[in-house]
Amino acid sequence: MPGKLKAKIVAGRHLPVMDRASDLTDAFVEVKFGNTTFKTDVCHKSLNPQWNSEWFKFEVDDEDLQDEPLQVTVLDHDTYSANDAIGKVYIDIDPLLCSEAASVISGWFPIYDTIHGIRGEINVLVKVELFNDLNRFRQSSCGVKFFCTTSIPRCYRAVMVHGFVEELVVNEDPEYQWIDRIRTPRASNEARQRLISLMSGELQRKIGLKVLEMGGNAVVGYLQCFDLEGESGLVVRAIGTACTLDKLSSGSAPNTNTHMHPNTAPASNACNSPSKDGKEPVFGEDLTSSSGPPTPFRALPTTSSSPPPFSPSKPCSRQSSSSDTDLSLTPKTGKNTCFFYLQEFPFFTLTSFPPGFLVHVGGVVSARSVKLLDRIHNPDEPETRDAWWEEIRQEIKSHAKALGCHAVVGYSESTSICEEVCILSASGTAAILNPRYMREGCLDIGITDHRLFEEPSPPSCGFCHIPYDELNMPFPAQLTYCYLCRRQKVPDVLFTTIDLPPEAAVTGKGCLIQARLCRLKKKAQGEVNATAISNLLPFMEYELHTQLMNKLKLRSMNSLFGLHIQISVGENMLLGLASATGVYLTALPAPGGIQIAGKTPGELSNEHHILTIQKRINDTIAKNKELYQINPPELTEEVVGSPIPEPRQRSRLFRSHSESSDEVSELDLSHGKKDAFVLEIDDTDAVEDIHSLLTDAPTPTGFYSCNTEIMPGINNWTSGVQMFTSVRVFRLSNANLTNQGLNKIFTDLCENLLKSFYFKLRSMIPCCLCQLNFTVAVPEEELIQVTVTAVAMTFDKDQTQEKTADKPPTKGGSETEEQLQFPLELCADSSSANCQPTSKISGTASVDYGSFADRCSTWLELLRLKAHTMRRGSVKTISSLERCSPLPEGRSRSLRSSRSFGGSSVTVVKMTPLSFLPGTRIIKYLGIINMFFIRETTSLREEGGVSGFLHTFIAEVFSMVRAHVAALGGNAVVSYSMKECMLMENPNKNQAQCLINVSGDAVICVRETDQEPTPSTTNIGHTSASATDEAT
C-alpha cells in the first residue's frame, strides 16, 4: 500500500454546448484510477463550471501508479437518457513518483475527445504521497528517471554508464478484438489509447526494474516505439541506456554553453542504416541467418578504388570474421580485450558523449531482417518478438566486432510494417569507448589495452582514428595518416549515426545530405512477398549508399553524422530515405572529385556529353566549397604519407596493400588518381543518377540545414526557436510508373518540402533547420507519406566560424534576433533581458531593441489592464490564478499576466527536438512526456478534408503536450519527437483516422544570463512556468 494519489477538480471553461435547447451544459466529472471512480457534483447550466471539488483520494500500489494513468472524464448530465461524454484527459502521474521531478500537477488541460477533438478545458490538481517500500521483491521502480535526451542531460553528471536496457510488451490490439464490431468508434479508440498508455507505463516500470538491478538510477536516450501489427497484435518496445546520474547543484552547473556543445541528438527516431552490411535480409525460420553477401556488389563497376568504411565489399570480411567465432566481443585482433564481458549487448542509445568518452569510431553498423507476422498467442511470453530483436542485436554486435570495436553507440531500432510483413532494422556506430565511465567490471581491461590510453589522441581527431587493425582491415579502405596529429591512421570517409563530437575539428559548415529511392515490387502474399522484399533490400541499401557517397563528394565533404536510413515497405513498393549531415572533418583527407567515364569512349557525341556533365559537376563542387566555406589547408599527398611512419609501419602499410584483393588493386590501377570517384555512364540509369545528383536545389541564402543537434560550424545560436511538423501525402496517379518516375516523384516531394520550409521560415533568416527528421511511409498502395519534424533556430550571422563563441556576443545576437522572430517568446524574453544588468553591460542593447521592448511592455501593460477589468465579478478560483506562488525553482516567476486576457493565463511552452534551448539553461527535468492520441472523423469534408483534419489534430497534440508540461510546472519540452503519425483515410466514406505518438522531456529552463533562478525584479520574468495555479 505504498501510495496515495489525490486529485481535485477545480473548474472547466469553454465547454461545448451539449443542450441545444438552453445552449448550455450540465457538466460533471468522473475521476478514475484503476478500478476506483469518483464523481463531482453536476454544475448546472454553465459552459464555465466551477466544481471546486473535494480531494479525491486513491490508495494504490506504486506498481499501479507507474502503469496507470489518471483518467478524468467530463460528462453532460442528462436526467432522462444516458449521460453524454464531452471528453477525457489522461494524466500520466509518473513524474510525481520521482522526488527530483515535479511535485504537483496543476493546470488547465484540454478536454479531448477522439471524435470531436478538443472541447474545452479543465483545471485539475494532482498530488501523490509515496510511502517508503522496503520490500526487496517489489515490482515497481519508482524513482528511476527517464530521459528521451540522447546525451547526459544538462544539470546532471554521469557517475557511471551501465549500458543497454531493453524491454517489450505485447497485447492484442483492441481494434481487432471481436468486441470492436459492436462498440462505437469512440469506445474503441479510447480502449486503444488506454491500453497503450497502460502498456507504456508497464514497459517503463519494467525497464526501471532492470536499471535498479544494474545499480543505476536513470535511463538516458529512452526510445519507445509501437508496432501496430494489426491482426497479430500490438507491441510496445523500448530501449535505452542505463546510467547513474548525479544532480549538479544549480550553481555549479557544468558548462552549459550550448553554443559550444549543443551536442546531443535525440536521434531517437528509430533509424536503420545500411552501412556496414550488405547483409541479405532473409525471412522465415532462420531469419537473420547470415547468408552470403549479395554477389552483385562486387561486379558493379561503380565500386571505387577507395571504398568507404562500409562499402559493399565489406560484408565479406565481416562475414568471415563473424562466421567462425562466437559472438563474444573479442575482436579478432585481440588487441582490445572486451570491456563489456558482463554485458550481453554493449549498446548505447546515446548520440553525444562527455569529452573523452568516445575513443575511436569504426563506422556504421546495421542489420535488417524481414519477418512474417503471426498472431501473438501468449501475450505474457512475448518470446518470438524478443527472439527477433535478439538476433538482430547479435548481428550488430558481430558487425561491430568485425570493425575492431567493442561497443555500438548512437544505437536505435525500428520497424516498418505492411500487412503481415515486417522489416526490423537496427543501426548504430561501432566504437571504442573509454572504460573510465563504465562499470567496475571493465576496469581490468586497462592493462591489456594501454595502447589506447597511454598516449591519448588529441580530442579533435582521436575519434577518427581507425579502431581496427590495418593488417586485418574489415574492408578495403584507403588509409592515410591523420591530417591533424599525423600519428595514426584515418579512413578516407567516415559514416556515423552519432552527433558530431563537440571537440572535433571541422572545416567549414555542414549540410543535410539525403539519398532517396523508390523501388517497385510485385504485389504478393506471405512468404513470396517476404522473399521479394528480402531480395530488394540489399540493392536499395547499395544504391542509397552510392547516392550518399556521390552527394558527399559533390559537397566536397568527407564524413556523415547522424546517418539515419529508413526503408519503408508498402504493398507495391519500397521506399528508402537516408538522411545525414555531411561535414568536412579536418583530420580526414580531402575527398577526391567525381569523374565521369563513358563506357563507349569512341563516340564523339558521347564524349562531348560526358565533358559537359563533368564540367557541371566540377562547377557544382567548386560552388559548394564556397557555400560551405570548405577551405582546408592545402596539403600535398607526400606530406601525408611520408614523415612520421616508422619503417615498420610503412612496410605494414605496403603489406596490407599487397594483401588486398586483386580486384581492389585492379581498380586502383584503372583510375590513375588515387581518390577520384568514378561514375560510369553506360546506360540511362546512370544518366538519371547523375541528373538527380545535380538537381538537388541548394539551400537559399541565409539558411542552413542538418539532421543533427547542431550545425557543424555554427556556434552562436540566438534564442529564436520554431519547432514544426509538416506532413505531405502524395497520391500516385499514374498506374504504370517506372522506378525512375517514382524516384523523381519521391525526390521532388522531399525537395519541395524543404523549399516550403525555407519559404515559411524566411522571417527567421539567418537560421538553421536542425534535427530535420524525415519519416516516410506507404500508408496505402498509391500513397507516399512524408512526415518531417524539425526546429528552426536563429543564429548570429556576423559571428560565424569562431569555435569559442563567447557569451557576450551570443547575447547580443539573441537580442538582435529577437526582433526578427517569435515575438511571443520575445516579449517575455526581451523584457526580462531588459531588466538584467548583465545584458546591458554587454553593451549590445540597441536602440531598436529598447524601443521594441518598450512597445512590448506597453502592450503587456494594456493587456493586464484589460485582464483586470474583465475579472470583475469572476469567480474566486480564477482570480486566485493571478496570485503568484513563489516556488524555489523559479517556476512562479513568469509572465502569466502578460498573456492573460480574461484573468487566466497560458504559459508559453517552447518545444524543440534538440536537447537544449539556445540561450537558456535547463535547471530541472520534470519527467518524460510520452503521449499517444487517436483521432477519428466521420465528417471529413466538413473538417476541411484530410489536410484540415490533420492540421487540427497536430495542433491539438501540440496543445496537449504544452498543457501537460505547463501543469508540471515546466516551460519547455526538449528532445521532442513525433514517433508515429499514422493516417488512414477513406474520402469516399467521408472518414479518416489518425494516430500520433509524441515524446520528449519536460523541463524548466531559465535564460542563460540568469545566474540564480531567483525571481527577477520585475513581474515580467521570462517564459518560465507559471501554470502552478495553486487554486485552492
List 822, 916, 932, 933, residue binding another protein (CB under 8 A): 822
Q: Are 428 and 408 in contact (CB under 8 A)?
A: yes
Task: Specify the long-range contacts of residues 383-389, CB closer than 8 Å, at least 24 apart.
Answer: 385/168, 385/170, 385/235, 385/237, 386/168, 388/287, 388/424, 389/166, 389/168, 389/237, 389/413, 389/424, 389/426
Alpha helices for 876-1013 (secondary structure H) = 876-881, 945-967
Q: Which of residues 12-31 bind another protein (CB under 8 A)?
A: 13-14
Distance CA 245, CA 365 (A): 28
**Nearest CB to another protein, comparing residues 55 and 901:** 901
List 496, 898, 975, 977, residue binding another protein (CB under 8 A): 898
Distance CA 502, CA 459 (A): 9
Q: Which of residues 554-583 bind another protein (CB under 8 A)?
A: none
Distance CA 7, CA 91 (A): 11
Measured in residues, the chain has a length of: 1032
Q: Which of residues 121-140 bind another protein (CB under 8 A)?
A: 121
List 333, 952, 990, 1018, residue binding another protein (CB under 8 A): 952
Distance CA 241, CA 245 (A): 12
Report residue 527 as a C-alpha cell: 512468404
Give the contact letters, 41-60, x = binds to another protein (CB under 8 A), - = no: --------------------
- Minimum separation from the CB atom of position 930 to another protein (A): 18
Q: Are 464 and 588 in contact (CB under 8 A)?
A: yes
DSSP for 223-268, written as a single string: EEEEEE-GGG-EEEEEEEEEEEEEEPPGGG-----TTT------TT
List 24, 344, 948, 1018, residue binding another protein (CB under 8 A): 948
Among residues 299, 279, 276, 275, the alpha carbon closest in space to that of 291 is found at 279
Distance CA 720, CA 403 (A): 42
List 241, 900, 977, 997, residue binding another protein (CB under 8 A): 900
Report residue 31 as a C-alpha cell: 475521476
Question: Binding to another protein by residue 963, rule CB under 8 A?
Answer: yes
List 180, 640, 823, 835, residue binding another protein (CB under 8 A): 823
Q: Which of residues 352-381 bind another protein (CB under 8 A)?
A: none
Q: Given the rule CB under 8 A, which of 301-309, 371-379, 895-903, 914-922 is the region that contacts another protein?
A: 895-903
Distance CA 912, CA 689 (A): 35
Residues 6+ apart with CB under 8 A from 779: 570, 729, 785, 982, 983, 984
- Minimum separation from the CB atom of position 622 to another protein (A): 20
- Minimum separation from the CB atom of position 896 to another protein (A): 11
- Minimum separation from the CB atom of position 901 to another protein (A): 3
**Nearest CB to another protein, comparing residues 298 and 760:** 760
Q: Which of residues 911-940 bind another protein (CB under 8 A)?
A: 911
Q: Given the rule CB under 8 A, which of 81-89, 347-355, 585-593, 748-756 is the region that contacts another protein?
A: 748-756
Among residues 218, 265, 226, the alpha carbon closest in space to that of 243 is found at 218
Give the contact letters, 853-882, x = binds to another protein (CB under 8 A), - = no: --xx--xx--x--x--xx------------
E strands of 732-832, at which residues? 767-777, 783-795
- Minimum separation from the CB atom of position 856 to another protein (A): 7
**Nearest CB to another protein, comparing residues 13 and 564:** 13
Grid-cell match 520528449, residue found: 1000
Q: Are 961 and 1000 in contact (CB under 8 A)?
A: yes
**Nearest CB to another protein, comparing residues 71 and 904:** 904
End-to-end CA distance of the chain: 27
- Minimum separation from the CB atom of position 869 to another protein (A): 5
Within 13 Å and on the Cβ side, how many CA atoms surround 236? 25
Q: Which of residues 224-283 bind another protein (CB under 8 A)?
A: none
- Minimum separation from the CB atom of position 16 to another protein (A): 11
- C-alpha 743 chain-centroid distance: 26
**Nearest CB to another protein, comparing residues 459 and 945:** 945
Question: Binding to another protein by residue 89, rule CB under 8 A?
Answer: no
State whether residue 548 is helix, strand or coil: helix
E strands of 277-406, at which residues? 358-372
Question: Binding to another protein by residue 301, rule CB under 8 A?
Answer: no
Q: Given the rule CB under 8 A, which of 325-333, 350-358, 445-453, 825-833 is the region that contacts another protein?
A: 825-833
Give the contact letters, 970-989, x = binds to another protein (CB under 8 A), - = no: -------------x-x----
- Minimum separation from the CB atom of position 977 to another protein (A): 13
- Minimum separation from the CB atom of position 349 to another protein (A): 25
Q: Given the rule CB under 8 A, which of 139-147, 342-350, 642-650, 949-957 is the region that contacts another protein?
A: 949-957
Question: Binding to another protein by residue 486, rule CB under 8 A?
Answer: no
List 749, 820, 835, 884, residue binding another protein (CB under 8 A): 749
Q: Which of residues 99-118 bind another protein (CB under 8 A)?
A: 108, 110, 118
Q: What is the side-by-side order of every strand in the sheet holding 573-585?
A: 494-495, 559-569, 573-585, 506-520
List 65, 329, 767, 906, residue binding another protein (CB under 8 A): 906
Question: Binding to another protein by residue 893, rule CB under 8 A?
Answer: no
**Nearest CB to another protein, comparing residues 621 and 895:** 895
Distance CA 1008, CA 1015 (A): 14
Question: Binding to another protein by residue 148, rule CB under 8 A?
Answer: no
**Nearest CB to another protein, comparing residues 183 and 755:** 755
Q: Which of residues 703-742 bind another protein (CB under 8 A)?
A: 722-731
Whether residue 643 has a cis bond before it, omega within 30° of 0: no
The string over 249-287, giving b where at least 16 C-beta atoms fall within 10 Å of a residue's C-beta and e elsewhere, is ebeebeebbbbbbbbbbbbbbbbbbbbbbbbbbbbeeeb
Q: Given the rule CB under 8 A, which of 340-348, 668-676, 915-923, 955-963 is the region that contacts another protein?
A: 955-963
CA dihedral over 310, 291, 775, 394, signed as positive or negative? negative
**Nearest CB to another protein, comparing residues 714 and 791:** 791
Question: Binding to another protein by residue 901, rule CB under 8 A?
Answer: yes
List 493, 946, 995, 1031, residue binding another protein (CB under 8 A): 946
Question: Binding to another protein by residue 990, rule CB under 8 A?
Answer: no
H or E element at residue 343: none
List 552, 827, 968, 1020, residue binding another protein (CB under 8 A): 827
Q: How many residues bind another protein (CB under 8 A)?
A: 74
Q: Are 230 and 419 in contact (CB under 8 A)?
A: yes
Q: Given the rule CB under 8 A, which of 173-181, 297-305, 603-611, 897-905 is the region that contacts another protein?
A: 897-905
Q: Which of residues 754-813 bind another protein (CB under 8 A)?
A: 755-762, 783, 785
